[in-house]
Structure 1
Amino acid sequence: MNHITILGIESSCDDTSAAVIRDGVMLSNVIASQAVHEAFGGVVPELASRAHQQNIIPVVSEALKRAGIDKSELSALAFTRGPGLMGSLLVGTSFAKGFVTALDIPLIDVNHLQAHVMAHFIKESEDDHNQPSFPFICLLVSGGNSQIIRVNSYKDMEVIGQTIDDAAGEAFDKCAKVMDLGYPGGPVVDRLAKEGNPKAFTLNKPHIPGYNYSFSGLKTSFLYLLRDRIKEDPDFIEKNKQDLCASLQFTIVDILMDKLRKAVKDTGITEVAVAGGVSANSGVRNAFEDHARRYGWKIHLPKFSFTTDNAAMVAITGYYKYLDKDFCSIDEAPFSRVVL
């Protein structure tokens, strides 16, 4: 039997990742993270692309080794073409083009956002059958994107709602930065929120029509709250850290779920998934489980290792595109911004 073996490469931001998927089953998923950005409180694009250049060959080599295959067994290579940081994407794209040219195998371009949704289709073993069935609604929440997507098939995804300003992950990180909690702030807020009272502080919730999101007003109301209270008590943040994090997390999750409930009700699609970095947040996960109980949703929560940027999601998207012989030409350029 001829196996379909796909090497996936992900380099859209600050993680260099390579993965091997054979016939839809993951054989390896290697991620090299860049600690260099922590000192700057955010990703520095120039440093990110340099780190990708250092990491990409060892990471690909390790992914092939862990998968127990030789590069001659590969059917095709799938790479993230965008959106993302241009310098980072160029490293992955250039490597991918050189690699497929040397091996004379097809090249498959993958949309980073589509790959996050497709992370739900990664199989960890032959008998792993937990994939969503079409159509389903997916809430994609990450540092750069907050979208509600109607997923009709792996290649037919319709964005029915999205943020008109900041993304949910951005709101977490920026509010965490103001409280001096370090970078990335989302996981720290999540940890502290578990010890706080989510009703301690009332924050601004936007009133945006339809399924679109807005998080800039919430961020502003959080900054004003801190500014006003610090005037009264310079130690306000330190004394109320847990309650501030719990209130912030509660409000962001509430805004996300409010629009998602509306989308599910209006479309009648009760199979619901969540994807992207913020899908690792315990508040989001608990809200999904609560909605499954209350509204009879069939929910799909990704494994923690598939919530952040990883190449397995690129490889599985590539696998489905390979089945359709949906290849890309060697002269395609990466892109930094796009919607699905």
Structure 2
Amino acid sequence: MIIIGFESSCDETGVALVCTERGLLAHSLHSQIAMHQQYGGVVPELASRDHIRRVLPLTREVLGSAGMTLDQIDAVAYTAGPGLAGALLVGASFAQSFAWARSLPAIPIHHLEGHLLSPLLAAPRLDFPFVALLVSGGHTQIMRVDGVGRYELLGETLDDAAGEAFDKTAKLMGLGYPGGPALSNLAQQGDARAHDFPRPMIHSSNLDFSFSGLKTAVMTRVRALEKADGPLSAQQLADLAASTESAIVDVLGAKSIKAMKQTGLKRLVVAGGVGANRHLRTRLLQDMLKLGGQVFFPPLDLCTDNGAMIAFAAAMRVNAGLVDLSDTSHAFTVRPRWELHDICLGADAAAV
């Protein structure tokens, strides 16, 4: 079965083709970073309008790359949530219209499930069960994954997500948008020992996170430095970036290893945009080697939001028998706020 997938939850438009037997066939992605940079963050209305402009050309591009025609597509998948309401509506309405015009089933996919399963697109292919660290701009969670649709929440952030901590501290330092990658790049030139920032909840008995206190600590340090020395020098900024990144990575690494020990599992999956962070990847590879386990990452080009993870999640659900392919009613809704546990044990996302 050939599935075309559409992702439009925030500021990236993604389209991909996945075969339930052969895996990823082709994918294409357009990022809106350049458009939003002048505003210092995502402008929802502009994001929605840009999705409208991009989705059809990307669809043609993906079909051309795969050497396929519309007649070869068997099902349509799309991100139904969580995300920006207007952006989600663009992708959902386009996907449902596409499916209706071709008399195909349409499969609503949870954005986080897409991220959760995306490392399975990489080689070597891992097996269930595993522990997953989901780290992105809006989410930081540790999940136990026993199969498709079988997810157990082990811990999550109580306030800011790790990606938010990167972005907000980068903004405090006057770095460009997107702040996370800018801070990470600058950190390579700094001394991570320059500032002893707090590692919130690193020693707590549970697997929850908290990053708002770290953001406050960075803000306080920036103001103190500016009061004492005036505008920050390039080296001061680099040291702040390195110290901030080190604090975030230490917490993510410690909680991940604690989850591995508590569950007794030996496979760790890291997914979401922050999963592209080089310091985090190095830290987890070293820690899992000491633990005698393995860590899996999605390919770097699939760490951010993309259509491949949506089409692939749909393919996994089809293979697991969790999709009613006879349903061609094309009634749909989107869910800007949508908990992952709502789709566990095969619950029909469209009916929630």
| TM-score (norm: length of structure 1) | 0.95
Distance 1:322 1:9 in 2: 16
Look up the match of 1:118. Answer: 117
Look up the match of 1:331. Answer: 331
Which letter maps to 1:230?
Answer: E
Look up the match of 2:24. Answer: 26
- 1:209 positional shift: 4.6
Which of 132, 135, 156 is matched with 2:126 structurally? 132
After superposing the two structures, state which structure 1 stretch, 322-331 or 30-39, moved more. Answer: 322-331
Please give the residue correspondences for 1:14-163 in structure 2 after superposition, counting only pairs within 5 Å. Answer: 14-22=11-19, 23-34=21-32, 35-122=34-121, 128=123, 130-163=124-157
Q: Note closer, same or farther for the CA distance 1:325–1:149 as it changes in structure 2 (3 Å cut).
A: closer
Distance 1:322 1:134 in 2: 17
Distance 1:237 1:155 in 2: 49
Look up the match of 1:306. Answer: 302
CA contact (8 A) 1:230 1:237 kept: no
- SS where residue 77 of structure 1 aligns? strand
Which letter maps to 1:215?
Answer: F
- 1:284 positional shift: 0.7
Distance 1:322 1:301 in 2: 23
Distance 1:215 1:284 in 2: 16
Distance 1:32 1:226 in 2: 35
Distance 2:309 2:194 in 1: 38
Look up the match of 1:167. Answer: 161
Look up the match of 1:219. Answer: 215
Distance 1:11 1:37 in 2: 15
After superposing the two structures, state which structure 1 stretch, 32-41 or 82-91, moved more. Answer: 32-41
CA contact (8 A) 1:24 1:316 kept: no
Distance 1:115 1:7 in 2: 14
CA contact (8 A) 1:108 1:321 kept: no
CA contact (8 A) 2:190 2:235 kept: no
Look up the match of 2:349. Answer: none
Deviations 1:289-322 (A, max 9, x none): 1112221121102211010001011011111222
| TM-score (norm: length of structure 2) | 0.91
Q: Note closer, same or farther for the CA distance 1:47–1:15 as it changes in structure 2 (3 Å cut).
A: same
Distance 1:134 1:63 in 2: 30
Look up the match of 1:260. Answer: 256
Structure 1: runs of 5 or more not aligned: none
Which letter maps to 1:175?
Answer: T
- Following TM superposition, the consecutive aligned residue runs of length 4 or more in structure 1 with deviations greater than 4 angstroms are none
CA contact (8 A) 2:120 2:298 kept: no
Number of matched pairs: 332
Matched, 1:273 2:269: yes
Which letter maps to 2:15?
Answer: A
Which of 272, 284, 288 is matched with 1:292 structurally? 288
Distance 2:22 2:337 in 1: 28
Which letter maps to 2:196?
Answer: T
Which letter maps to 1:338?
Answer: W
Look up the match of 1:322. Answer: 318
Distance 1:137 1:248 in 2: 25
Structure 2: runs of 5 or more not aligned: 341-352
